[in-house]
Amino acid sequence: MSADFEELLAILDLRQAADDIYIGSHPSKNPVRTFGGQLMAQALVAANRSLRHDLPPSSLSVHFIAGGDPAKDLEFRIVRLRDERRFANRRVDVVQDDTLLATAMVSYLAGGRSLEHGVEPPPVPGPESLPPVDDLLAGYEDVVPQFVNALRPIDWRYTNDPTWVMRKKGEKLTDNRVWMKALGEMPADPGLHAAALVYSSDTTVLDSIITTHGLSWGYDRIFAVTTNHSVWFHRPVHFDDWLLYSTTSPVAADSRGLGTGHFFNRSGELVATVVQEGIVKYFPR
């Protein structure tokens, strides 16, 4: 088990401060502002802990309002909207110094079996044949130091060149496909598996916006910040096994870009769908 993965589990172990109020800390490695994937994963854990019945999450939608300070804890305030045996809703307000950073809406549903279909996963090499992301970062420490120095609790295996390698080759990519799984043994709690997926869903989903134009983080002057992030859970998440995260960008306009992604398990089943909107501005040199 990696030290970074142990830190992920530690920050997902929220501290209860009062009824329906939880406190979340930051890890030792942080960007300038609170990582959105961390905040969303912690918000899901907080919502999970407030449930009266054992229900799986069906969707999570987060609106980001202000950036968080990694030097200070986050407060997660639960609003109980609905509680039934097979259905529940929660709102989670994320606050720091009495400033609202984000609001998450979480739905839970135990629906049972009915009609089933799903899109097919793209044909890609298996994760065992691909190098870990550390190998792909070697030699690019000065180009993408924000990735080199970031917390990496997840094993990433790119099936295509990551942005910084693609950019050096002078190529373009309309999609990005990465195998992911926890870099350690996940607890038996299904809610933590879903939270780990949410954490990971914020890592590469905006890449296709810039790779469509042959651009890369580090090489090009790009400002990007997430405004909304939504996840729909279709099947139980098992994040101790490989999931393929396949992302693309259907549109970029008015300094905003949309990234969409699908998580597939090793059997080819669609496990979760992600849509993220971000403000993305490019400043040519």
Strand partners of residue 155: 181
d(C-alpha 279, C-alpha 206), whole Å:
10
Report whether pLDDT(1) > 80.
Answer: no
For residue 66, tell me if it sits in a domain. yes
Q: What per-residue confidence (pLDDT) applies to 113?
A: 87
**Stated pTM of the model:** 0.96
Q: What per-residue confidence (pLDDT) applies to 193?
A: 98
Average pLDDT, the chain: 96
Report whether pLDDT(247) > 80.
Answer: yes
For residue 120, tell me if it sits in a domain. no
Enter the tokens of residue 29: 């490695």
pLDDT digits (tens, 9 = 90+) for 269-283: 999 999 999 999 999
pLDDT digits (tens, 9 = 90+) for 169-208: 999 999 999 999 999 999 999 999 999 999 999 999 999 9
pLDDT digits (tens, 9 = 90+) for 218-237: 999 999 999 999 999 999 99
Q: What per-residue confidence (pLDDT) applies to 262?
A: 98
Enter the tokens of residue 13: 């172990």
For residue 84, tell me if it sits in a domain. yes
Give every CB contact of residue 217 below 8 A, 6+ residues apart in sequence.
Answer: 144, 146, 147, 163, 164, 210
When pLDDT is averaged across residues 64-90 and rounded to a whole number, the result is: 97
Q: How many domains does the chain have?
A: 1
Domain containing residue 218: CATH number: 2.40.160.210
For residue 115, tell me if it sits in a domain. no
Does residue 117 or residue 1 have the better pLDDT?
A: 117
For residue 117, tell me if it sits in a domain. no
C-alpha closest to that of 207 among 245, 238, 170, 237: 245
When pLDDT is averaged across residues 89-93 and rounded to a whole number, the result is: 98
For residue 233, tell me if it sits in a domain. yes
Would you give the distance in Å from CA 76 to the centre of its chain? Answer: 18
For residue 57, tell me if it sits in a domain. yes
When pLDDT is averaged across residues 139-145 and rounded to a whole number, the result is: 95
Report whether pLDDT(149) > 70.
Answer: yes
Give the chain's radius of gyration (CA, Å).
18
pLDDT interval class at 285 (50, 70, 90): confident
For residue 116, tell me if it sits in a domain. no
Number of H helices and E strands in the chain, helices first, is: 7, 12
Q: 90 is in which domain, residue-wise?
A: 3-110+126-282
